[in-house]
Every structure is written in C-alpha cells, then in structure tokens.
Structure 1
Amino acid sequence: MTPTPIPILTAPSSYASATYDPFHGLSESEAMSLKAFRAEHLATVMRGLTGTALDNEDEWTNDECLLLFLKAAKFDLDVAVSRLAATMQWRRDFRPTEIDPAVVGPHCKFGDQFLTGFDKHGRPIMYTRPKHGYLHNKDPEGSIRYSLLLIEKAIKIMPKGVTKLTVITDFEGSTMFNGFASAIYLKFLNILATHYPERLGVAICIRPTWYLSFLYGVIAPFMDPITKKKLVFIKDASQSASKPPAMDNDEVGGWRDSIFEFVDVDQLRGEYGGDHHFNFDYDIYWEAFTKL
C-alpha cells in the first residue's frame, strides 16, 4: 500500500455507538450514587474552585464524566467527589485546553508522539516512540505538556460512548542512555491516573528491550495499581488474532502474542504489520491535528 501522510483522526462508522446511556449496566446503588454526585455534590465542588473557569468545564461535569470518577473510586462517593475537586482545580491551574500550539508545536516536529487510527473498541490510538523523541528533545516537561494536549484532542475525537484511548509505545532501541529519566515517565503516568481517571484503555508496549524491564522495575512500585494492570507487552507485532480480549477487567495486562488482538489491520500502522502506512509529515499532520 502507498504510504500516506494523512492521519486517521475520525473513527470508522462501524466503531461508533448509535446511542449511549451512562446509566446502562449500573446497579441501583451505583445509579443512585451518580444521581447524588450531580444533585448534592457537584455544585459544592464548583463553588470551591479558585481561578478562571475553562470554556469546556461542562464537559468534565456531565454524567458521563462523573461516572468515570465514580468508577475510578470504586463508587466511593466521597472519594470521587474529592478527586473531581482536585482535578477541576488542577485543570484551572494547569489549563490543558489552553496549551499554546506555538509552544508545543516543536515537540510535534520530533515525530515521537502523534494520534492516528482507532483500536477495536473505537478508542483513539496515541503512538509514542521514546528514543525518537529523546534524540532531538531536551525538554521533557514540554513533552509532557504536548502529551496532555494529545490526550485532550483524543477525547475530542472519541466516538459517542467511547471514553478511553489506547497508547502504543515503541521501545525499539531504547536504553537508559537515550531515554527520559524514569521520573518523567512516572510523572506523566501519575497525571494520567489522577486527572484523567478511566481514560486509559490499554497501554501497549511493543519491541521491548532490556531497558523496558529495567524501567518497569524502577517505576512499577510507584505506579497507580489500576494503570499497572493496563500495561500490555507484545513480543511479536505481526501475528493476527480473531477477536479482541475483554477490556474492562483485571486480565488486560501482561504479555500478549499479537497486537492484532487490540487493533484491526486497517487501523494499525504499517511499521507494525498493519495496512495503515502512515508516514509522519509534520506540516500535514499539524494542520489536521490543530483543526480537531
């Protein structure tokens, strides 16, 4: 197939849900917790915030998002309320929706992080290539800001009913001498777990090297347990599989034989055995990305 610089930023219609009911599948007590969250606690949370409100705060306080916080807190309402308050204040302070493209654009040029394609559950795919970025990038904090902008954009392109994204990280050639410090990886993962609860569907690590084992050993004790369970390691990215695994239980993580358990061939980059022969071109990608 001919290489293309055009990223896939719109999910195939077959992945989109025609209707979505956040109450579907909830027990009576869980549904009551969600109703109480909105009716009894949300206004108090919002009144307690300081700083200027963001334009899209209503998107973080609808039933769909409140449910994500409840699920992350295992439906402990007090914990969910506390976590929402902390996240809404963090958003006002950090202002991830107002990250200046002119500032993070240079990080996009490295080609080490980008969005293209959707997995079998309709979740946007975020690709990361640590070695590729580190060879050019000496500003890891800037990389984190760019990563967060990617997540914000990924949320925007999720089909109705989809609330998570998939991250595919290529560790080919990565060593302790050409990668970011473990503290940077841990900081990003902690922001993801704390302020984007239930947003990570699965984190797929491909082409693992000895450094991945070393890095995992360093950061695993400090990782959020839920995030840790979503780490998948692929030995061979070119084998096929017939169906995806169950994605919402504790059996997601660990070693898997094939990336095609998670991504259809037409949505996976050709470099990893798919038919989506995406060739990163900054100018074309950045134009499509900024229009999201």
Structure 2
Amino acid sequence: MNPQLMSPQLRKTNSNVSVSPQDYPKLINEVRKAIEKHASIDKIKQKLGDEYARCLSDQSISRYLRARNWNVKKAEKMLEASLIWRMNYKPEQIRWEHVAAEAETGKLYRSSFMDKQGRSVLVMRPRCQNSKSTRAQIKYLVYCMENAIFHLPPEQEQMVWLIDFHGFSMSNISIKSTKETAHILQDHYPERLGLAILYNPPKFFEPFWKVVKPFLEPKTTSKVKFVYSDDPNTKNIMESLFYIDKLESAFGGKNEAKFDVRIYAERMKDDDAKRLASHKGESSSGAALSRVPTISESNHMNTDSDSDGEKTKSPEINEEEMLAESEKIAKADGGGIGGRIEN
C-alpha cells in the first residue's frame, strides 16, 4: 500500500476507537470481506469486469476508509454505492468521441503539466460553459476524472483543480450542476482532490459559495483556496505549488500556450488507446489489485454526505434570493471584481 497514505499518528473514528497504521490492512480486509458476502457478487463481478479488481484494490478501499474516518461499515456502504454506480454508468467506457462536443471551448481539461507533488492538474473555466445539459456536463466531468487518474504516478492519488474565474458572470451560476458535480466527486472519487484553487472569483460569487458549502463535506471545503492575482501572497502560493515556467499565464505562470481543442483531441484519443491497452494488460496479467463488491441501494440524488458519511437532508435553497443578492453585490462592487471572499 502507498506509504504516503499512512499517517503515523492515531486516528479517532466516530466510535471513539483509535486507529493506527498497523490497523489499516485489517480494516481494508474487513471492508473487502463484508463486500464478498453479498448475494449478487457474481453478477457484479461479471458486470464490472476488469474494473472489479481496480475498485477493490487496497488503495481504493483505503480511500473510502479515509473518506469515512476509518469507519468500516460506512466505508463499505460508500464503496457499495460506487460499485453500483460504476456498474451502471460504466465510466471506464467513455471515450473522447462521446464527449468531444463538451470539450470544444476548453471549459474543463487536463493540463499538460503537473504540480510539484506530481499531481494531475484539471483546469476549469466556467465562462466557457457551452452546454445546458447537466447530464452531458457530468459525463464529460467523469471522463476528465478518469483521464486525470490514469496519468497519476504510482506514488500519487490526488489531483489539483485550477478554476479560472476570468469573465465569470451571473449566467454561469448553476446550483443543479454544482450539486451533481459535488455528488460525483465526493461519493465516487473520494480522496482524489488534493487542492482546489479558485483564482480571482468575483465578490458576487460569495452568496453562491455560501449556498454550495452545505453540499460539500468539511474535508472538501478545507481543500478549497481563494487566490487573487493582486494579492502579494499569491505569487508565493503559486510558486510553492507549481513550476512557474510550466504554469499557465492565466494563473500567474510563464506558459503562454492557449487551449487548442484540435491538439487536445489528439492527446485524448491517444490516452484512450493507452487506457484501454492498460486495462487489458492488467486483466491478462492478473494484476494484484484485489477483490470484491456488495450492494446496498442508496438514494443519493437528494441527500448529501457529511464528513463522516451520514446522509443529511439537503438544505432548502431559495435560488432567486441568492441570485438577487449576487446581483446586488455585483452592482455595488462595479461588476463584483473588487471584493474578496474569505477562505
């Protein structure tokens, strides 16, 4: 197992049991054994194919345990839901030709550079949204996540999000797509986010952020950082995270290259071929990625997880009031570009 995942100190679970690194293999096996007992395991194995072994690897189970504070039952439940989702959604089968239309404007893409820790970097530009279909947006998001994960080095599990708010307007605000994005990332890609940098968000984004925060786990919100190009500390922050000569100029770097969908398409097609070959190779070589799933149906479309995995009722949202407050701030702030949002 990745030693980077193993914190030397004891971890407290909600059952008030201290967990040490020596306990991790035992807890991982407990999750695996619980999943093996499900009556539909043979069907799930057949449906998932190669994905079955990857989902039940030590590293994968470890991520679900960490997301649920090493609580075996909650990690098992969370992993079950992901297995069902992967069995039905089939994210590993999404190819470039299925999402190319969503990618045309460069609203979301995997950057050609990594951060200093070797983490994949996903760049998002909300102003470049070119689709009204939440379903299509989420499909492209899942494709990008699978691609970014494929490019992580063996010792790294997480990625960085760089969100460029240049040109962001009220029309780019969508609670529905944001909620669904949070659900996909938190419930099915736990512990994959290392850091999310919101670069130059306008002041009128603040009411929207206050509405969105309840849908995010505290562990997730702690990884969100607001960074401003005119803040003297920004340069130090970005230099500590990225190689400035590789970082895009939009984020204070020296790389002047712009997104070109034609070049990006070729990269993605090549990546698709490599991913397919890699998956087939793992299957034929009997990759040591371990075991199995179980199922518990969970309706997570209208509920959200707290940091320990319990389901809580989504707070009521008055979207009209939120938008009205944002507009008020934008008018008072000359377009909403002068204020700061506290981290």
| TM-score, scaled relative to structure 1 | 0.80
Q: In structure 2, how many angstroms separate the alpha carbons of the residues matched to 1:97 and 1:211?
A: 37
Cα distance in 2, alignment partners of residues 83 and 22 from structure 1? 23
2:191 is the counterpart of 1:198: yes
Q: Is the 8 A contact 2:149 2:157 kept in 1?
A: yes
Residue deviations 1:202-234, cap 9 Å, x none?
Answer: 111001102321210121122222211111100
Code of the aligned partner of 2:213: A
User: What is the Cα deviation at residue 81 of structure 1?
Assistant: 0.9
Q: After TM superposition, give the deviation of residue 138 of structure 1 in Å.
A: 2.6
Name 1:279's counterpart in structure 2.
Answer: 258
* Residue matched to 2:211: 218
Distance 1:223 1:23, change over 3 A: closer
Amino acid at match of 1:175: S
Give the 3 Å change call, closer, same or farther, for CA 137–23 of structure 1 in structure 2: closer
* Match of residue 177 from structure 2: 184
- Whether 1:121 and 2:100 are equivalent positions in the alignment is no
Q: 1:267 to 1:43 in 2, by over 3 A?
A: farther
Are 1:84 and 2:84 matched, yes or no?
no
Q: Could you tell me the TM-score, scaled by structure 2's length? A: 0.68
| Larger of the two Rg values belongs to structure | 2
Work out the percentage of aligned pairs sharing the same amino acid. 23
Does residue 1:55 correspond to 2:34, yes or no?
A: no
Partner Cα distance (1:80, 1:89) in 2: 14
How far does residue 107 in structure 1 lie from its aligned partner after superposition?
0.8
Return the offset for 1:95: 1.1
Equivalent residue, structure 1, for 2:162: 168
**Match for residue 106 of structure 1?**
101
Aligned residues: 254
CA, structure 1 residues 266+159, in 2 after alignment: closer, same or farther (shift >3 Å)?
farther
Unmatched tracts of structure 2, length 5 or more = 8-19, 272-343
Q: 1:33 aligns with which of 14, 27, 41?
A: 27
Larger relative contact order, structure 1 or 2 (CA cutoff 8 Å, min sep 6): 2
* Deviation for aligned residue 1:180: 4.2
Letter aligned with residue 198 of structure 1: E
| 1:269 partner letter | E
Structure having the larger proportion of residues in helix:
2
Q: Distance in 1 between matches of 2:200 and 2:159?
A: 20
Give me the whole-angstrom Cα distance separating, in 1, the residues matched to 2:108 and 2:186. 19
User: For residue 13 of structure 1, what is the aligned residue in structure 2?
Assistant: none
CA displacement, residues 234-258 of structure 1 (integer Å, 9 cap, x when unaligned): 01278432xxxxxxxxxxxxxxxx3
Partner in structure 1 of residue 240 of structure 2: 261
